[in-house]
């Protein structure tokens, strides 16, 4: 096991550090920058099915569901196809309306999650075209879907998903760009500039790992005794906030809630005092001015602000107690880059609390029963 961990103390840390490679592997053979194309047989062979879909329904559980939410933002923005995202466990029992004009995308790291499998079977029975985004090759979900794309992130051992999540985001990005290009919603110049930026994301992840590894350890030390955390983001980074909160609760057992920053005023703001740590994801591109006013509201209530901002940021950084800098990207890529320091922060808080990071209590890597 020590050898498999490659010198890292836990699989989770190893997997966090593998992300420059895993994201690159997910794009390998698919993103052909020189030719200016995205090659994805699973999508291309059924492109008319996607193009003519009434809507796309994404079903998943846990971290994969968070990836699905970002998939909704991506596909609606770039391909202009309506998307709904559902928890598999809700979808399967609520008698949903599904027709043969729907495309259902299941996202599952393991490809074995019982609820996701059951929801897919239901969609298939009703005639929907079913597409899988799985990490484990030849898994049950990969086998029952009509088509799909593997994430190729490599085996993920840590129960808390990290590299599988960023690989899922990478696949969803490729799908959104591919469909958008095909159906004419994404013009050639924008497509070219987006794929060039996507191609450089592994390098940005590498940079974030280098610049935030020590920093997140130092921040973590100050929050070992925390009992609650709030994670806030807007737009693409609202689901990134949900995922940041999930990482923390899974492995550190600290109660954490993710929220869209603007919804804070409808509830969570009542919780804010000098003891409440609030992680706020505030990159330049993506409702920055709105986030600034959310941060002012938190500051006025003396919340402890941990801000994830772009390099050189001033406004949010001046109000924050802790600043984590990430490189600037287009908004659609920011959840990939912003998630990395949040994974590290959750990891180190859990380690300093003496928790079993790779195998947290009560959780399973793959939930094959209901």
**Residues with catalytic annotation?**
365
CA distance 137 to 194: 28
Task: Give the nearest distance from C-beta 236 to ligand G6P in angstroms.
Answer: 19
List CB contacts of 46: < 8 A, sequence separation 6 or more: 129, 131, 146, 147
Query: Tell me, what DSSP letter sits at residue 323?
Result: E
Out of 13, 16, 57, 61, the only residue in the binding site for ligand G6P (CB under 6 A) is 61
Q: Does 367 bind ligand G6P (CB under 6 A)?
A: yes
Strands 147-150 vs 37-38: parallel, antiparallel or unpaired = unpaired
State the nearest-atom distance from the C-beta of 191 to ligand G6P, in Å. Answer: 29
Q: 108 or 317, CB closer to ligand G6P?
A: 108
- The packing angle between helices 334-352 and 201-221, to 10°, is 30
Task: Using CB under 6 A, pick the residue from 19, 63, 173, 339 that binds ligand G6P.
Answer: 63
Residue pair 271/242 in contact by the 8 Å Cβ criterion: no
342 contact partners, CB below 8 Å, separation of at least 6: 231, 240, 243, 244, 247, 279, 281, 308
Which residue in the set 116, 170, 173, 317 belongs to the binding site for ligand G6P (CB under 6 A)?
A: 116
| Part in contact with ligand G6P (CB under 6 A); list of ranges 56-64, 92-100, 296-304, 339-347 | 56-64
Query: What is the Cβ-side half-sphere exposure of residue 112, based on CA atoms within 13 angstroms?
Result: 11
Q: Whole-number minimum distance, CB 349 to ligand G6P, in Å?
A: 18
- For ligand G6P, the binding residue among 42, 62, 235, 335 (CB under 6 A) is 62
- Token code pair at residue 89: 């466990």
Regarding 149 and contact with ligand G6P (CB under 6 A), the answer is: no
Is 159 a residue that touches ligand G6P (CB under 6 A)?
Answer: yes
If one asks whether residue 110 binds ligand G6P (CB under 6 A), the answer comes out as: yes
Q: Give the one residue of 99, 293, 363, 368 binding ligand G6P; rule: CB under 6 A.
A: 363
Alpha-carbon span 79 to 178, nearest angstrom? 8
Question: What residue spans of 146-277 are helical by DSSP H?
Answer: 163-182, 188-199, 201-221, 237-252
Rounded CA-CA distance 59/71 in Å is 11
Nearer residue to ligand G6P within complex by CB, 63 or 237: 63
Distance CA 106, CA 322 (A): 37
- When asked if residue 42 is in the footprint of ligand G6P (CB under 6 A), the reply is no
Residue nearest ligand G6P by beta-carbon distance: 62
- By the 8 A CB rule, do 279 and 342 touch? yes
| 108 vs 216 by CB, closer to ligand G6P | 108
Q: Any contact of residue 23 with ligand G6P (CB under 6 A)? A: no
Q: Which is nearer to ligand G6P, 108 or 294 (CB)?
A: 108
Could you please report the per-residue DSSP string of 117-128? HHHHHHHHHTT-
Map residues 307-326 to x or -, x wherever contact with ligand G6P holds by CB under 6 A. --------------------
Q: Taken in order 260, 264, 268, 272, is the CA torsion positive or negative? A: positive
Which of 55, 249, 301, 365 contacts ligand G6P by CB under 6 A? Answer: 365
- The reply on whether position 71 binds ligand G6P by CB under 6 A is no
Angle at alpha carbon of residue 338, lines to 292 and 256, rounded to 5°: 80
Smallest distance, Å, CB 60 to ligand G6P? 6
Total site size for ligand G6P, rule CB under 6 A: 15
Residue ranges in contact with ligand G6P by CB under 6 A: 61-64, 108-110, 113, 116, 159, 161, 363, 365-367
């Amino acid at each position: 096991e020590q050898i498999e961990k490659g010198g890292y103390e836990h699989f989770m840390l190893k997997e966090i550090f593998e992300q420059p490679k895993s994201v690159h592997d997910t794009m390998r053979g698919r993103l052909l920058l020189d030719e200016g194309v995205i090659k994805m047989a699973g999508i291309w062979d059924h492109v008319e099915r996607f193009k003519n879909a009434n809507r796309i329904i994404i079903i998943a559980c846990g971290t994969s569901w968070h990836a699905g939410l970002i998939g909704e933002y991506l596909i609606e923005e770039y391909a202009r196809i309506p998307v709904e995202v559902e928890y598999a466990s809700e979808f399967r029992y609520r008698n949903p309306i599904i027709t043969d004009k729907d495309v259902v995308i299941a996202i599952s790291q393991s490809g074995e999650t019982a609820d996701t499998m059951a929801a897919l079977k239901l969609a298939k029975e009703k005639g929907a075209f079913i597409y899988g985004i799985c990490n484990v090759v030849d898994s049950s979900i990969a086998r029952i879907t009509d088509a799909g794309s593997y994430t190729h992130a490599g085996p993920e051992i840590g129960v808390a998903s990290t590299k599988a999540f960023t690989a899922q985001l990478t696949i969803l990005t490729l799908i959104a760009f591919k469909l958008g290009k095909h159906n004419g919603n994404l013009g050639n110049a924008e497509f070219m500039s987006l794929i060039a930026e996507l191609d450089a994301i592994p390098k940005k992840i590498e940079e974030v790992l280098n610049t935030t590894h020590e920093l997140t350890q130092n921040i973590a030390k100050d929050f070992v005794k925390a009992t609650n955390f709030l994670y806030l983001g807007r737009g693409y980074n609202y689901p990134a906030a949900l995922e940041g909160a999930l990482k923390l609760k899974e492995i550190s057992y600290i109660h954490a809630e993710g929220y869209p920053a603007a919804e804070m005023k409808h509830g969570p703001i009542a919780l804010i005092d000098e003891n409440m740590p609030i992680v706020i994801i505030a990159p330049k591109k993506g409702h920055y001015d709105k986030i600034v006013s959310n941060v002012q509201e938190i500051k006025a209530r003396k919340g402890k602000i941990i801000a994830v901002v772009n390099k050189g940021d001033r406004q949010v950084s001046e109000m924050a107690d802790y600043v984590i800098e990430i490189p600037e990207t287009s908004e659609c890529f920011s959840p990939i880059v912003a998630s990395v320091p949040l994974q590290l922060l959750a990891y180190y808080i859990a380690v300093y609390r003496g928790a079993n990071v790779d195998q947290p209590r009560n959780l399973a890597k793959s939930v094959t029963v209901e």
